[in-house]
């Protein structure tokens, strides 16, 4: 009995996964990763701002830690931007 010839390879991932065909799902995933990283950066900046307020208020009592934080704060925020 004769077999029908296959029209495509058995494991053709470009055919099976829609994201390789039109790029829509791939773009959505990349945008999701970008949004997640932007949210993380915003949260990190909020934490740094809160620590800065605490340092100004004097609630961080360790003198060395306060000076180190105030000296490094702009470097950290600048690197995140």
Per-residue model confidence as pLDDT tens for the chain (81 residues):
667 666 666 665 555 555 555 666 667 777 888 888 888 999 999 999 988 888 777 655 555 555 555 555 555 555 565
Q: What is the pLDDT of residue 40?
A: 92
- Give φ, ψ of 55 to 5 degrees: -65, -40
d(CA 54, CA 67): 12
d(CA 28, CA 34): 10
Q: What is the pLDDT of residue 31?
A: 80
């Amino acid at each position: 009995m004769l077999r029908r010839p296959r029209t495509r390879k058995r494991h053709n991932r470009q055919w099976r996964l829609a994201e390789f065909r039109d790029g829509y799902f791939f773009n959505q995933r990349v945008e999701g990763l970008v949004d997640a990283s932007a949210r993380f950066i915003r949260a990190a900046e909020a934490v740094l701002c809160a620590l800065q307020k605490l340092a100004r208020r004097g609630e961080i009592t360790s003198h060395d830690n306060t000076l180190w934080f105030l000296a490094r704060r702009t470097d950290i925020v600048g690197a995140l931007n």
